[in-house]
Amino acid sequence: MEEQAKVLRRTWAEIHLDRLTENVCRIRCGLQGDCRIMGIVKADAYGHGAVPVAKALCRAGVEQLGVSNLEEAIQLRRAGVDVPILVISYTPPEEAARLAQYRVVQTVVSAEHARALSGAAVAAGVQLTVHIKLDTGMARVGFLCHEETEVSAVAREIADVCRLPALCAEGIFTHFAAADEPDDAFTQRQFALFMRVIDTLAQDGITFSLRHCCNSAATLRFPQMHLDMVRPGIILYGLQPDGWMNDAYPGYLPALELKTTVSMVKDLQASVPVSYNRTYYTPAPKRVAVVPVGYADGYVRALSNRGEMLINGQRVPVAGRVCMDQTILDVTAVPSVGEGTVVTVFGRDGAAVLSADEIAAWIGTISYEVVCGINKRVPRLYFENGKPVEQLNYILP
């Protein structure tokens, strides 16, 4: 690991795999019976690194994985991940042969999509396992069913799809649009529509072994909706879907911390402009530190003159504009800062904590975007019980 440490002295992310395991255990404790967990690892496992995270989740007992597209599924298969993988959105029908080759479960988003997928599978001589996606309130992909009056027609349409050749309809699911809002009326409405379609199909003799609808928020809030499987995403990584849920559902452990180091320290007199466009002038003599992290690493420009980082357990403010590759910090109040001093962009430094949620609040977004935005030039270093066990370097693999 010494060579890895040398590579990581610029800016790096630390991912604690044992925290992922603990988060899976917490989720499991809230489930009943044989309810399964589909761990969502799309978008490079929310910036945490898809392959190491997927393997850690499987070791922790997660039965299935969910990805956004076929390429993400193939990446996991080529890395030796063997559990069922569902592509939770659209895949072009002409990819039927590759779906079968890599044993990937495909979402069917419409009758037209199903017919084309069936035709392509028949032509390729393969059988595909599919899940039916029902749109009960997101207005994204899926069979449209936003009203009670649409249930019967949608059920007939899905029944026809389930009878198509070369498709095995193993599952049916929907996605909640507002499960992280304190008012649960819309989520209850979505769930009722979902169950009405399922019940109507059952009357026609069509049933599914996997019915699922719960994202992270619903997994925590609505145990009566867990059905056969839940699909947690953000809580796997120790973050909550919305800020109000931090107090309501404590104990989830953020798996990722972003670190950098001081590359230079300098003393400035009063009235010195700092960084691009002179948006900050030193109000008095200041000591500043330059750190090699910028918006090309995922520390977005909107944090200019607004963000903070942690040095030696203390918060220090961003001074001036965040650059593509560097950011300047006011370290006047922090003694003993020098070249090579470790800086926590977000995470824990001693007793001090600066969370991805807090960074998100500063720039008007959500923690999902903060962690997903960490650029591929930032190496990921994986820890178990405080010890480094693996490194993911996209530039120098």
How far CA 227 is from CA of 36, 58, 106, 212, 303, in Å, comes to 9, 21, 20, 6, 42
User: What's the distance, CA 135 to chain centroid?
Assistant: 21
Instruction: Specify the pairing of strand 352-354 against strand 342-349.
Output: antiparallel
Told to judge if 286 belongs to the known catalytic residues of this protein, a careful annotator would answer: no
Catalytic residue among 102, 276, 281, 376: 276
8-state DSSP, 306: T
Secondary structure (H, E, C), 337-390: CCCCCEEEEEEEECCEEECHHHHHHHHCCCHHHHHHCCCCCCCEEEEECCEEEE
Contacts of 272 (CB under 8 A, 6+ apart): 281, 282, 286
Catalytic residue among 42, 55, 259, 286: 42
Residue identified by tokens 């699911």 is 173
What is the CB neighbour count within 10 angstroms for residue 82? 9
Residues 237 and 256 sit within 8 Å (Cβ to Cβ): yes
Told to judge if 276 belongs to the known catalytic residues of this protein, a careful annotator would answer: yes
8-state DSSP, 165: T
Find the helix or strand (DSSP H, E) in which 58 lies: helix 50-59
SS3 state at 393: coil
d(CA 268, CA 91): 56
- Catalytic site residues? 42, 276
